[in-house]
């Protein structure tokens, strides 16, 4: 969903049971943030809503 909407370089993974979003930068950096959403398929629509903020 994120790659489709924003292109390659975006990574979504699990960390401590939460959704972690990373952006792979051209210079190799990978800034990231962890949401308050639990890492579960049922939260994919909630993640779509959070990205609008």
d(CA 32, CA 50): 15
**Domain residue ranges of the chain, discontinuous segments joined by +:** 2-50
d(CA 39, CA 20): 8
Let me know the angle formed at the C-alpha of 49 by 32 and 25, rounded to the nearest 5 degrees: 25
Which pTM value belongs to this model? 0.71
Could you list the beta-strand ranges (E) of 1-53.
10-15, 18-23, 32-38
Kindly give the confidence (pLDDT) of every residue in the chain, 53 residues in length, as a single tens digit, with 9 standing for 90 and above: 667 777 788 888 999 999 999 999 999 999 999 999 899 888 877 776 665 54
Q: What confidence score (pLDDT) does residue 53 get?
A: 44
Q: What is the side-by-side order of every strand in the sheet holding 32-38?
A: 10-15, 18-23, 32-38
């Amino acid at each position: 969903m994120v790659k489709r909407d924003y292109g390659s370089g975006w990574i979504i993974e699990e960390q401590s049971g939460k959704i972690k979003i990373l952006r792979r930068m051209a210079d190799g950096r990978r800034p990231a943030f962890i949401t308050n959403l639990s890492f579960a398929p049922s939260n994919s629509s909630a993640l779509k809503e959070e990205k609008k903020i």
